[in-house]
Amino acid sequence: NAGVTQTPKFRILKIGQSMTLQCTQDMNHNYMYWYRQDPGMGLKLIYYSVGAGITDKGEVPNGYNVSRSTTEDFPLRLELAAPSQTSVYFCASSPKNTGELFFGEGSRLTVL
Amino acid sequence: QKEVEQNSGPLSVPEGAIASLNCTYSDRVSQSFFWYRQYSGKSPELIMSIYSNGDKEDGRFTAQLNKASQYVSLLIRDSQPSDSATYLCAAANAGGTSYGKLTFGQGTILTVHP
C-alpha cells in the first residue's frame, strides 16, 4: 500500500496565482485532514472530511477550499495565493475519529 | 481557544539517558492525547496515544496523563541518537463530534548526543 500520497512535493507560486494540492489515500479511510505547518510551529487544521461529500472548516480555512468526491481523494485548492500561505502542507487520513492519523510526506509551498 | 503548550527546547540528553518531554493543555474537554515524532524534513508519525489517567508503556516509550493537572508527558528510556527529532503533543476531544480533529503543540526538539 502507498498510504497517503501528496503531490506536488514542492511548488513556487506567484502572488495571486491559484493551485490545487492533491491528496490520495489507498487505505479506505473515511476521515481525511489538511494541516499546515509553519517553521518552528505545530500543525494547524485547515479543513477536514468525515467521508465522501462531507467537508468542514478547521482552525485556519481562509484562502482555501476543499472537495471530497470520493473516499480516496481530498484535494486542497488555494485561490489567489498570498505570501502568508507559504508553508508545508500535510494531508492525513484515519480509519476512525480518534486522532490517530497517517500523514502524507507533505507539500512545501512558497508564494513569492 | 484550545491550546497545547510545549517547551520548544532544544532538549539535549546523552545516549542511554531518559528523555522527558512535557505538554500542558488548556481545554478540559480534551480527552485523547497523542505524541507524534517528526524527523527533520519529514512528516509526523504517531508513536503513542493515551486516553486514561496514568501511564501507558510501549517499548522504550512511556506516556503519562494527569487530567486533573491537564498535563501529558512522554518518557523515552535508553535514548538513542535515532530518537533525535521534534516531538509533537496533540489533543482531541472524545467522541463522535470531535471527528479526530487535533490541536497540536509547537513541538519539542530533542537531541540525543553520543
pLDDT tens digits, A28-74: 999 999 999 998 888 999 999 999 999 999 999 999 999 999 999 99
Best mutation target among A23, A98, A102, A103 (most B Cβ atoms within 10 Å) is A98
Chain A touched by B106 (CB under 8 Å):
yes
- Mean pLDDT confidence for A87-100: 92
* Chain A residue whose CA is closest to B43: A105
One-character DSSP codes across B31-66: EEEEEEEE-TTS--EEEEEE-SSEEEEETTEEEEEE
Measured CA to CA, the distance from residue B39 to residue B56 in angstroms comes to 23
The alpha-carbon gap from B60 to the nearest alpha carbon of chain A, in Å, equals 20
Measured CA to CA, the distance from residue B29 to residue B21 in angstroms comes to 22
Nearest to A36 by CA among A53, A58, A56: A58
Cis peptide before B10 (omega within 30 of 0): yes
Chain A touched by B52 (CB under 8 Å):
no
Across the interface, which of B8, B42, B104 has its CB nearest the CB of A43? Answer: B104
8 Å CB contact of A99 and B100: yes
* Chain A residue whose CA is closest to B89: A42
Across the interface, which of A43, A90, A99 has its CB nearest the CB of B32? Answer: A99
Considering only the C-alpha atoms of chain A, give the largest distance between any 2 of them, rounded to a whole number of Å.
38
Contact A35, A43 (CB under 8 A): yes
Measured CA to CA, the distance from residue B43 to residue B92 in angstroms comes to 19
pLDDT per position as a tens digit, B37-78:
999 999 999 999 999 999 999 999 999 999 999 999 999 999
Across the interface, which of B45, B49, B99 has its CB nearest the CB of A97? Answer: B99
8 Å CB contact of A100 and B42: no
Contact A97, B98 (CB under 8 A): yes
Chain A touched by B96 (CB under 8 Å):
yes
Q: Which of A95-104, B19-28, B89-98 has the lowest mean pLDDT?
A: B89-98
CA A13 to chain centre: 17
B1, pLDDT greater than 70: no
| Grid cell in block for residue A53 | 461529500
